[in-house]
């Protein structure tokens, strides 16, 4: 997968943001829908699948291992699965692009199949450690050869039958949990994952929907015990993917920050393990409400209305990090415009995302006039009380889609242009981001030639 050439850009808001929009399908659910459809026996159909580069990397990998994955003319996807245990040896390396989710979950799938797969990725993904996934999958019998530091490129030689394990997550991670559960699908007996803090539960919901025998127990604390019975036979499904709350975060925060705005974001997934950003905005005083609440395919969905708001400082609860881990960059932008101090702690996980999101956001926000202090596990942000940021700087996105979109929103509430050095990575999760923001009234600034 060839990297796109750098695409610098800057955005501003000549007036309030107004309108009704939909964001792309949920990325986490889209990945899982493709994988489980490929492991079912028969044909599944998926509506609303995210067409971003990360999800397309998953579709390409499933094709390479024998499943038929076709995007039809109306935008729906048809997947003809090969069944659990039926994946074929890929003829070439699986190029995961920038997708950590694809890589970690597919490592779990391959780990209990009698095949060998090599995983490669772009420069950003190749710098991200995979040790958290390697350790439990190796305990199940997979032979994994990684580059130094447990990084890509790496090779997974699956074992069939694999060894069922009971695995306690050392840190909360939905991706590690899901990798072990997916490996457990083709492993005889019971595979069990114990998580100390509840993480996003899309895998559990969807595995049950496809017919896997899976139970979830709670011990009276935050601990959850997820057990799956292996040698499963998955049934094909009709899946409707809700809008991605991580993508909805950007127009929602933009509407909060630009005075006079009134924006409705339709059809957003509000799984309680993913909706922490919206609760945080409400705690900061955002004029944010949920309309037309319903359930689609076992996932709660609603429309989110957001109006221009005077925000106050916020101190996060580290126990809630898992419910909004991908939304902290844009929440840092909101904090920079709030009244008073915001203190963010317990965010060590952000240092091993597509970039070190704590350091990159601290550097970028400081460059455009925000008052920030980086700590070992978070940020301290002194807000402007609603006054615009100075702007007037070029910030480095570091190949990170969420960093790029966060500073695009910051540019809407800055005096001088905030130039993002490369908006190309946004295509991994939100290929229509610029068009959506333009629909609401934002404009792309004209940049002087380099």
Tell whether residue 371 is among the known ligand binding residues. Answer: no
The token pair that represents 78 in the structure block: 């048809």
* CA atoms in the 13 A half-sphere facing the CB of 304: 33
Residue in this structure with the two tokens 């490929």, named with its chain if needed: 38
Round to whole Å and give the CA distance between 96 and 83: 22
Is the CB of residue 59 less than 8 Å from the CB of residue 78?
no
Tell whether residue 100 is among the known ligand binding residues. Answer: yes
Tell whether residue 32 is among the known ligand binding residues. Answer: yes
Round to whole Å and give the CA distance between 290 and 85: 42
Tell whether residue 28 is among the known ligand binding residues. Answer: yes
CB atoms within 10 A of CB 80: 17
The beta strands (E) that lie in 137-253 are given as 143-147, 151-157, 166-168, 190-195, 214-218, 224-229, 238-240
Tell whether residue 224 is among the known ligand binding residues. Answer: no
Q: CB within 8 A of 320, min separation 6: which ones?
A: 276, 279, 280
> Backbone phi, then psi, for 177, in 5-degree steps?
-55, -50
Tell whether residue 388 is among the known ligand binding residues. Answer: no
Tell whether residue 353 is among the known ligand binding residues. Answer: yes
Active-site residue (options: 122, 326, 400, 422): 326
Expressed in percent and rounded to 5, the helix, strand and coil fractions of the chain are: 35, 30, 40
Q: How far apart are the first and last CA of the chain?
A: 27
Is the CB of residue 180 less than 8 Å from the CB of residue 167?
yes
* CA atoms in the 13 A half-sphere facing the CB of 344: 32
326 is catalytic: yes
Tell whether residue 177 is among the known ligand binding residues. Answer: no
Any bridge partners for residue 71, and if so which? 77
Tell whether residue 392 is among the known ligand binding residues. Answer: no
The binding site for phosphoenolpyruvate consists of 27, 100, 128, 175, 357, 402
The binding site for 3-phosphoshikimate consists of 27-28, 32, 173, 175, 326, 353
Catalytic residues: 326
The binding site consists of 27-28, 32, 100, 128, 173, 175, 326, 353, 357, 402
């Amino acid at each position: 997968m060839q990297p796109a050439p750098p695409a610098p850009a800057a955005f501003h808001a000549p007036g309030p943001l107004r309108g009704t929009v939909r964001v792309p399908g949920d990325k986490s659910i889209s990945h899982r829908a493709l994988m489980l459809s490929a492991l079912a026996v028969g044909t599944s159909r998926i509506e609303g699948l995210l067409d971003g580069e990360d999800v397309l990397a998953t579709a390409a990998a499933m094709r390479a291992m024998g499943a038929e994955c076709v995007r039809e003319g109306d935008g729906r996807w048809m997947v003809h699965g090969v069944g659990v245990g039926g994946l074929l040896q890929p003829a070439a390396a699986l190029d995961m692009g920038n997708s950590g989710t694809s890589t970690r979950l597919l490592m779990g799938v391959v780990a209990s199949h009698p095949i060998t797969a090599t995983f490669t990725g772009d420069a950003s993904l190749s710098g991200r450690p995979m040790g958290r996934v390697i350790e439990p999958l190796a305990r199940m019998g997979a032979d994994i050869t990684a580059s130094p530091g447990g990084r890509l490129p790496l090779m997974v030689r699956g074992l069939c039958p694999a060894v069922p394990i009971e695995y306690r997550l050392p840190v909360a991670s939905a991706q590690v949990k899901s990798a072990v559960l997916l490996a457990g699908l083709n492993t005889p007996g019971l595979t069990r994952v114990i998580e100390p803090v509840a993480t996003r539960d899309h895998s559990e919901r969807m595995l049950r929907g496809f017919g896997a025998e899976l139970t979830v127990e709670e011990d009276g604390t935050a601990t959850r015990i997820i057990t799956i019975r292996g040698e499963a036979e998955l049934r094909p499904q009709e899946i409707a993917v809700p809008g991605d709350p991580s993508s909805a975060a950007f127009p929602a925060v933009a509407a909060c920050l630009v005075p006079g705005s009134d924006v409705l974001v339709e059809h957003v997934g509000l799984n309680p393990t993913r909706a922490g950003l919206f609760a945080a905005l409400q705690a900061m005083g955002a004029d944010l409400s949920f309309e037309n609440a319903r359930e689609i395919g076992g996932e709660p969905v609603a429309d989110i209305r957001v109006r221009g708001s005077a925000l106050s400082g916020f101190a996060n609860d580290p126990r809630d990090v898992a419910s909004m881990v991908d939304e902290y960059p844009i929440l840092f932008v909101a904090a920079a415009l709030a009244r008073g101090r915001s203190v963010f702690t317990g965010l060590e996980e952000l240092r091993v995302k597509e970039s070190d999101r704590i350091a990159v956001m601290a550097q970028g926000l400081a460059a455009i006039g925000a008052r920030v202090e980086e700590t070992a596990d978070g940020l301290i942000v002194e807000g402007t009380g609603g006054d615009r940021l100075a702007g007037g700087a070029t910030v480095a996105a570091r190949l990170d889609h969420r960093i790029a979109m966060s500073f695009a929103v910051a540019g809407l509430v800055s005096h001088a242009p905030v130039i993002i050095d490369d908006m190309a990575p946004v295509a991994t999760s939100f290929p229509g981001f610029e068009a959506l923001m333009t629909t609401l009234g934002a404009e792309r600034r004209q940049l002087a030639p380099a």
